[in-house]
Structure 1
């Protein structure tokens, strides 16, 4: 399931409908605050179990950082509920004032307003079990004011010692529509939002665990007016950004509230062969990877493709003998033209960037099948204008899979203006007339040309940030591209599934009986099959 995100303008338009229907002051705000309260109660139990510096029978104390706007009001109303539930709650008003009714409710419930934050880190850590961030809301720009640096530093240091941060709507300093954080922003362990996902929830991992609570009055909810903000044909309005998360964490104190939604993994189409399938019919992929300098790239990429789908994998390149020794089921050859029929090509991991490699890429681009270009292939695309023109002229799907550094070189070569990751990936896909998979903790998949939809996948962890991991993803995605070509899947859906499987495999690879540790690319490959099986289960993969 692909979850739609909404812009600030869309959220505000939908909220205006409910605000006009309120029958008592702050009815909607108190509704949102109750969701914050429920998550805060859960996290207080989580923090107590997770950190030894809280005795099991000690009362837990919460610190609220409240700005003058609606999010500060949400946080203070939530603090009032915590106080009425017997919790000790302090609040610091970051602008010197706050939403008046929410502040009155907070103090009347027994909450304490601080004149200043604790100056010493250790005093903060020993005093508080949870911090609630309500400094700014969805109207805030990227980055916070310099005078808030001390507060942000205190929260960040506290997180390192087991004092989690719960953000209201968005971590303060994160821009809702772009996910940009500027030089100063809060990093949250959990963010609870209301009614509909904001773009930043998938664009910036600083949101932590993303939770979506309902937003409603007794006689209506925000769902209908929010959907009404979507144009009948999405190309007539703001481009859509979907939100998915491959690995969903669960707190130590049990599951998240049942009526709150977490981001779910992108759907992964079943790769199982049908009764009529054979080794040739289910997406044969050809791989040109590796060289004398980078022999491991050939094995990693090919092994990933073999483990991703049941179909044949053909390898063509100088590491043919090494590949077949490691992977006897692979069909190998030294030359591209001898590889035989395939339904997609992968070109680039460790393949080299010299004139011979450029000529091989020209040959691959001339084939009338989908082509995925990664690593050294991307360098060749950035350096050779005629190769970029060949990509633009192709009729079959072409997929570029850059990480941010490779993307920057491509962006400059093509002449795409610098902006944010989301806008840049759309612009590059349009300029190159191909699909672009911009890799990272959050991977963005932009379809070719002026399409209205971008797929965003938050891995949910960063264990895939390791050498060779991209080669593994190229193999999985190439196999899915070939299978999608055989079964007539939309290219972007196949790619989103591959990204999710890769992220799950990396998390599984990091697992040990004692907790997570490094996940080398060779180990990620070993878990592609398990990750595939996990991706087909009804429930998402939970840490």
Structure 2
């Protein structure tokens, strides 16, 4: 599992470790790892380090020191290393001395050296930076991107918020980021994530001093494989779980079909469909159990999915209320989110321990639930998903370029999904995800695990289906079994 820790946790861990090390040893560890990563990138791009033109963008503080010491190591390997000092009076003197002693130099004109660079090392600000780049750093950061050089960020791209992933102003856009000790939340959450490029973690010994509970975590294949349900020889369709799907309308029958498609591939033994799309669902999936009355009269289920394409008529309103009155896990998506009664929702878990809730909004729906502009949700995704989970007393899966899953307990790490592709931004893909997650709920997974695993498989299926080309939601559903095999194989 990939984990990320807050700036405060990293700072505390660094202090504890430095108390046990000779002065400067921790910075030397970071610089050694940074230099090794840069050397590897140069060998991939040019075949060698010797003769490469490296430019260091050096701000004040330890981040600039890391860049200077790494530059000194590259200079000793034959690279031509030049430093651009953005705050000359506050440059890390030990690092600058090491660079000059290794044959590096200070640039007279930053734009000349940047135009000819093979690699630019961004050491402008560190994890304590706030509010974007300072105005004097903006032209230099833009020049670094305008040429053909690789841009490598030191710890995280300068100008992004380490704890939240927000980008409050101009920020460096890196091709790669070399981070130290642990990932920072901003490296895994958009909009900062897309500015970080490829990530490489350098172990500098912080592990024993970091909190055991991180701020953020991302599942990997092995984690997902451990959570996936596996039937036994004694399993039958009912023991494996039955998921109820309340979706679709006369206007949107396809939503019912797609939600059922996801549910059938999520590990549950059977799918009960309730709603006006019975004919469309049976035409595509004749194995579905169907009912045209109220959800509570449809038969026993171990979870409900309610909302995709449901509309807002009287039947839809009654159906959402009926589902929320049940004592089984409920996933609420799309139109169901608009029909929520907040007090009913918050009272579910108090009524029965099994009456958990998973909400799956996209940014627009999240904005409506929070009463804020959509732009605010997209700019501060991590804060938004935490606030939603706390306010509604439910697990929340916030869909988007970075899908996040937050537990209502603020002490539980937020999960960030590492799979997916921009091609997944297509009509109906959320319906497939809802059915998939609801099916995993029916197998017994808690809401946080069900949402995280569903997002992982959904994103992986989209990658496998797309392979660089457009996909439809139906393609994503069809590739879910292959994604499942890819994880467990």
| Deviation for aligned residue 1:157 | 4.2
State the partner residue of 1:151. 140
Q: Residue 286 in 1 paired to residue 244 in 2?
A: yes
State the partner residue of 1:391. 345
State the partner residue of 1:363. 322
Q: Is the 8 A contact 1:391 1:432 kept in 2?
A: yes
Separation in 1, partners of 2:14, 2:134? 27
**1:342-391 deviation digits (Å, cap 9, x = unpaired):** 1111111111123331111111111221110111111223xxxxx12211
Separation in 2, partners of 1:477, 1:309? 10
State the partner residue of 2:14. 15
Query: Quick one: which of 431, 437, 445 aligns to 1:471?
Result: 431
Separation in 2, partners of 1:267, 1:241? 23
Q: TM-score, normalised by structure 1?
A: 0.81
State the partner residue of 2:122. 133
Pairs aligned (count): 475
Query: Quick one: which of 28, 31, 36 aligns to 1:30?
Result: 28
Q: Is the 8 A contact 2:244 2:303 kept in 1?
A: yes
State the partner residue of 1:438. 398
Residues 42-441 of structure 1: pairs in structure 2 closer than 5 A: 42-48=40-46, 60-97=52-89, 98-118=91-111, 127-158=116-147, 163-203=149-189, 204-205=192-193, 206-215=195-204, 221-227=205-211, 240-244=214-218, 269-309=227-267, 311-337=269-295, 339-381=298-340, 387-395=341-349, 396-412=355-371, 420-441=380-401
Separation in 2, partners of 1:180, 1:199? 10
Separation in 1, partners of 2:99, 2:20? 25
Separation in 1, partners of 2:86, 2:56? 10
Separation in 1, partners of 2:428, 2:87? 47
Separation in 2, partners of 1:290, 1:46? 51
Separation in 1, partners of 2:245, 2:442? 11
Relative to structure 1, is the Cα distance of residues 315 and 60 closer, same or farther in structure 2, using a 3 angstrom cutoff? Answer: farther
Q: Is the 8 A contact 2:246 2:273 kept in 1?
A: yes
| Deviation for aligned residue 1:113 | 2.3
Separation in 1, partners of 2:161, 2:307? 35
Supply the RMSD in Å over aligned alpha carbons. 2.7
Ranges in structure 2 where 5+ consecutive residues have no aligned partner: 350-354
| Deviation for aligned residue 1:310 | 5.1
| Deviation for aligned residue 1:442 | 2.1
Q: Is the 8 A contact 1:316 1:332 kept in 2?
A: yes
Separation in 1, partners of 2:181, 2:21? 16
Separation in 2, partners of 1:34, 1:283? 52
| Deviation for aligned residue 1:393 | 1.4
| Deviation for aligned residue 1:62 | 2.5
Q: Secondary structure at the match of 1:107?
A: helix
| Deviation for aligned residue 1:268 | 5.1
Separation in 2, partners of 1:67, 1:11? 20
Q: Is the 8 A contact 1:481 1:491 kept in 2?
A: yes
Q: TM-score, normalised by structure 2?
A: 0.89
Separation in 2, partners of 1:521, 1:380? 25
